[in-house]
Structure 1
C-alpha cells in the first residue's frame, strides 16, 4: 500500500500502526518525530498535483479538516479517498480501526490500550463548567459536537458552549470573562493556537485556568493511550474539585 494522509492525527496513527505504507503527509503532520515522507502542503490547501504524483493507493482525509473541492480533485484523478468523521471518542476508535484496516494493517496494540485507558477513567465525583478557547484575535471556543468536548465530558468537564449553533463560535472576551457565564474553569490547549503560561491565562484573572496539550485533547491516534492521565492531571492541577 501507498498512503497519503491529509490529517495530522491519522498520519501518526498510520505511521505507527501501519509502518511502511505512508508516502506523503501535510506540512502540519508533526508526529511521529522525524517522519520522512513527502510533504504535500497544508490540510486546507494540499498540493493536489504533488499528491497525484506520489501515485497513492489511498488518500486519508477528514470531513472537518479537509476541503471537499480538494478531495473531489483527487477522486477525479482516479485516486481512492477515505474520508473520516470524528466528533466523539467512540467514533474515533471506529474510524481508526477502519483507516488502519484500509491500509492493510492488523489492529495495533496501542488502539486496544487506548480503549482500555478510557474505559478505566474513574466516574467523575464532581462536574465543572468550562469554556475551551482554541484561538484568540479573535477569541474562538469549542462549540457543539466536538471530539475534544466529548473527551472533557468524560473527565467531568462540561463545555459551556456545547449547545451553541456553531461548532467553533467566535466569542467576545467580555462574554468569556463575564460572571454571567458561571465558569468554573477555562481550558487552554496549546493548539491550534499555542496558549502558554504567558499567553492566555492573563485574560481570565478571576477563573482557574488549565493548560493542556492540544495533542492529548484534539488528536485521535496513539496519543489517546496517555491522554486520560495527562488531561486529568492538568485539570486537577488547575481546580481543587477535580
Structure 2
C-alpha cells in the first residue's frame, strides 16, 4: 500500500528501521505521539514539544536556514517538511542525499486525519494513527456540537504588532477558528497574512484575539489595548493550539471548545 503526500508523491511503508529528521515542530510532536521517538534523529530548534522526549535529539537550526551539512551527516532515510514552514529551494536540495522527503501541507483541521494516516502508514504505526484519528473525531464532534448552539461571530486574530498582521480565511488558523464558529477578519484578503490598520480592523470584530505566537502577546499587551481601545473584547489565545497541526490539533479542538464556552458564559454575565 502507498500513501500520497502534499505534492502527490507516493510513499510506501518503509521496510527497515527509519532515521527520521523533522524540520517542522508540529510534525516532530506528531512523531512522538506515533511512538517514533527512537527513530527521530534530528529536529529544528523550534521543535520543543514534548520537551522530555526530545532531549538529546540533535538540533539543526530553524525551519528555514537549517544546517544542511549537519543534516547530511545524520544520514536520514526520511525528512519531513511543510510547504508553508520550509523554503522550497532548501527542501529541493535535500533530494541530492535524502532517499525520502515527505512534504506536508494541512490546510484545515480535518486534513490532520490524512496526515496521521500518511505517517502512520509510512512508518508502520497504523494502529497508533487510527487511535489519533478516533481521538480527533471525538473532539471534532464535541466542538461542532458547541458551535452549533452559539451564534457565529466575527473575530480579528492578531499574530504581530508594529506593524499589525492578521490571518486570511484560507489559512489553517482561520479554518480552525471557523470550526468553533469564529469567522476571521478581514473577510477577503489577497495575502494569507495581511498587514492591517488596527483601528479600522477592530470595528467589525466581536472579539480580538492576541495570539501567543509568532509574536508573544502577553497580559500587559491586552491591558494596554483595553485602555487605548475600549469597547472591544481583547482576549489572549494560545497560538500553538490554533496553528499547530498534527497531534496538537486534537488538544486544539478541545481548547477551542472550552474557550468558546468560557467566552460565551462571560458575555452573559
- Which of 72, 83, 86 in structure 2 is aligned with 1:52? 72
Q: Could you give the per-residue CA deviations for residues 55-113 of structure 1, whole angstroms, max 9, x where no partner exists?
A: 11100000000001111111122442111111111222212321232233224223321
- Alignment partners' CA distance in 2, 1:158 and 1:97: 29
Deviation at 1:225, TM superposition (A): 2.5
Task: Say yes or no: does 1:210 pair with 2:235.
Answer: yes
Task: Say yes or no: does 1:183 pair with 2:183.
Answer: no
Q: Could you give the per-residue CA deviations for residues 182-219 of structure 1, whole angstroms, max 9, x where no partner exists?
A: 11111222111111211245334321122221121111
Task: Say yes or no: does 1:7 pair with 2:24.
Answer: yes
- Alignment partners' CA distance in 2, 1:124 and 1:65: 35
8 A contact 2:142–2:257 mirrored in 1: no
Structure-to-structure mapping, 1:114-193, within 5 angstroms: 114-121=136-143, 122=145, 123-177=148-202, 179=203, 182-193=204-215
- Structure 1 82/140 Cα, relative in aligned 2: closer, same or farther at 3 Å? same
1:151 is paired with a residue of what secondary structure?
helix
Structure-to-structure mapping, 1:33-112, within 5 angstroms: 33-34=51-52, 35-36=54-55, 37-108=57-128, 109-112=131-134
- Alignment partners' CA distance in 2, 1:132 and 1:195: 12
Q: Could you give the per-residue CA deviations for residues 13-32 of structure 1, whole angstroms, max 9, x where no partner exists?
A: 00221322111110001101
Max Rg structure? 2
- Alignment partners' CA distance in 1, 2:70 and 2:49: 21
- Let me know the Cα RMSD of the aligned residues: 1.8
8 A contact 1:101–1:107 mirrored in 2: no
8 A contact 2:211–2:239 mirrored in 1: yes
Q: Which runs of 4+ in 1 moved over 4 A?
A: none
- Structure 1 144/51 Cα, relative in aligned 2: closer, same or farther at 3 Å? same
Structure (1/2) with the larger helix percentage? 2
**Deviates further, 220-229 or 35-44:** 220-229
1:132 is paired with a residue of what secondary structure?
strand
Deviation at 1:220, TM superposition (A): 1.3
Normalized against structure 1, the TM-score is what? 0.91
- Structure 1 236/186 Cα, relative in aligned 2: closer, same or farther at 3 Å? farther
- Which of 44, 57, 62 in structure 2 is aligned with 1:26? 44
- Alignment partners' CA distance in 2, 1:183 and 1:131: 6
8 A contact 2:77–2:98 mirrored in 1: no
Normalized against structure 2, the TM-score is what? 0.82
Deviation at 1:221, TM superposition (A): 2.2
Structure 1's unaligned 5+ residue stretches are: none
Q: Alignment length, in residue pairs?
A: 238
1:120 is paired with a residue of what secondary structure?
helix
